[in-house]
Amino acid sequence: MNKVSAIQMTSTPSIIENLTIVESLIKTAVGHGSGLIVLPEMFPIVGLETSDKVKISESFGNGQIQDFLSKQAKINNIWIVGGTIPIKSEDPYKVKAACLVYDDKGNVAGRYDKMHLFDVIVSESESYQESSTTVPGEDISIVNTPFGKLGLSVCYDIRFPELFRRLFNLGAEIFTIPAAFTIKTGQAHWEVLARSRAIENFCYVIGSCQTGTHNNGRNTYGHSLIINPWGEIISLLADGVGVITSEIDLDKLKQIRKNIPVAEHQKIFYTET
């Protein structure tokens, strides 16, 4: 019951194709004995245009993608961290990048809307303006699960340690980070940032990633990983579509936190929600 998995995939513009792949990979993870499965950012669609996700967006609580995740959680008796799903916002031209957590009965147990949006210039030929189609979230989220307390985040959030320290102060034991890192930033920063978030807070990190070349020409870095609270990578999938699985040992986490009690030694606190 303490095994967790991260799924890695190369999402396409076809929701049906992507959900079929996810279903197969979930079966693989279940076969590994996993009870908690984390999906990548944008798993339902990487469109030919950034606005494609707006066209297929769903109202919260109703839609093909949400129904699929609920069903998969229920029939497999697992918890699912649903990457990001385009959920309608008050702006008809923008969505919320919502990470929905489903319990083993198929019910929504938590929601986090991506807070930090990827508006960056990666190089002279590669830039992104996520805010053109996405409304930023405002609230952080902790979800109680049989595997530990999840602190939810998404991709670019990883660069903002204040978010993770706030999640830690609220009791998080596992950080989930669905991601779609670029090649350039992934090679330079993905692993070191993920390990840093684990080490700073003595938390497990589950990073579930997009990988490879997508139909729109975008290249994503892959390197899905699971990191233990000491900052060691205990499972890694560099390239290709697949699943990684590892065990969560909360006793080990508690012992590390007892030996190095950063929660007691902390002097500066971030109280914003």
User: Is there a domain that residue 268 lies in?
Assistant: no
Mean of per-residue pLDDT scores for the chain: 97
Say whether 114 is catalytic: yes
In a domain, 22, yes or no: yes
Task: Say what the pLDDT of residue 273 is.
Answer: 54
Q: Once rounded to an integer, what is the mean pLDDT over residues 221-240?
A: 98
For residue 191, give the H/E element and its range.
Answer: helix 191-201
Model pTM? 0.97
* More confident site: 130 or 269: 130
Structure-block tokens of residue 131:
């805010």
Phi and psi at residue 124, to the nearest 5° = -65, -25
**Looking at the domain assignment, is residue 199 inside a domain?**
yes
Is 224 in a helix, a strand, or coil?
A: strand
Instruction: Let me know if residue 273 belongs to a domain.
Output: no
Percentage of the chain modeled with pLDDT above 70: 99
The answer to the question of residue 249 being in a domain is yes
Report how many domains make up the chain: 1
218 within some domain:
yes
Of 53, 88, 94, 114, the active-site residue reads 114
Per-residue confidence (pLDDT) for residue 2, from 0 to 100: 92
For the chain, give the percent of residues with pLDDT over 90: 98
Q: Which CATH number fits the domain that encloses residue 250?
A: 3.60.110.10
Is 244 domain-assigned? yes
pLDDT computed for residue 270 by the predictor: 72
| Cα–Cα distance measured from residue 52 to residue 71, given in angstroms and rounded to the nearest whole number | 25
Encode pLDDT of 159-169 as tens digits: 999 999 999 99
162 a catalytic residue? no
The torsion of the CA quartet 179, 184, 186, 188, rounded to 10 degrees, works out to -150
Active site residue 41: yes
In a domain? residue 272:
no
How far is Cα 256 from Cα 111, in angstroms, rounded to an integer?
A: 29
pLDDT tens, residue by residue, 168-198: 999 999 999 999 999 999 999 999 999 999 9
Q: Which of 155, 173, 203, 209 is catalytic?
A: 155
Find the domain containing 149 and state its range: 3-262
- The span from the CA of 96 to the CA of 60, in Å, is 10
